[in-house]
Amino acid sequence: MPENSFLGTGMKFPPQINPATGRFAVSSEEESVKEAVYLILMTQKTERFLRPRFGSDLMSYTFMDINTTSVNMMIRSLTEQILSNEPRIQSVAITTDEQVREGCLLVNIDYVIKSSQEEDRLTVPFYLNVSPEDEAYEPESYENEQYE
């Protein structure tokens, strides 16, 4: 029995088809843990009907001001949510890097896998504010004649 059998094997996220077999692609061991952490971050709390506590509140920080207090609140919240939702990891250290691009906060998540004591890292770009040129086009006025 492999020593990482506790980490398990499951369907790859996002779902993909294995071109050789025509079946769903699977991920196992460390890759499975990394995908699970990403899935926790991308799932909004209460989004899953049967597991309302699963997920994170990452998207609620979208329009926050970038200051030390709000970033630390986000880091603490994400750390607690990852540890409570993923039983295969034992410690999480989150750092942020906001110097890369205006409006983008890189969230670096370092974690240790319980069974193998192996360290791994996941980096997720988090876009805070949309710049005026990135906003969707909206006409200044609507033609009333179209709707009559």
pLDDT greater than 70 at residue 80: yes
Pick from 7-16, 35-44, 114-123: least confident: 7-16
118-133 per-position pLDDT tens digit: 999 999 988 876 554 5
- What confidence tier does 12 reach under pLDDT thresholds 50, 70, 90? confident
pLDDT greater than 70 at residue 67: yes
pLDDT greater than 90 at residue 135: no
- Residue 101: its pLDDT value, please? 65
- Residue 31: its pLDDT value, please? 87
Distance CA 25, CA 11 (A): 6
pLDDT greater than 90 at residue 15: no
Which residue do the tokens 């250290």 mark?
Answer: 93
